[in-house]
Amino acid sequence: MNYLQETQINMVSEGTRIEGEITFDHVSRIHGVLIGKVRSNRGSTLILSETGVIEGNVEADVLMIDGYVKGDIKTKTQVIISKTGRVIGSIETPSLILEFGAYFEGECKMDGASPKKSKSNPTISSEV
């Protein structure tokens, strides 16, 4: 006898508004409005649909944005802002993907992206 393995997907439907500190696990799809601190646990993916809105800071492993985020974002793995995505706030992530048409207003810090200074690097100067 074959048993179907149940998957765990969280969903906040369009028309739903949740306020407070919210924590998700596994794959979570947001179609509604979240106000407050939003966090998803390690190994999880948070997907904000075109109708989804988050007003508050977000901590996630992977964050995919098709909707609107007003707040600071910090991820362990990746942030993807699609062509319909809009973000106002700072982003801290190892990997950032902005599709053509995406809107991002703020600062971005990418961990591990800055080159390490070496004593053997020559000093670059320009003369006019």
What is the three-class DSSP state of 82? coil
The pLDDT assigned to 3 comes to: 45
Low-confidence ranges of the chain (pLDDT < 50): 1-6, 114-128
The pLDDT assigned to 37 comes to: 96
Inter-residue contact 76 to 95 (CB < 8 Å): no
Q: In whole numbers, what is the pLDDT of the chain averaged over residues?
A: 85
CA 64 – CA 51 distance, rounded (Å): 13
Tracing tokens 């074959």 back to the chain, one arrives at 2
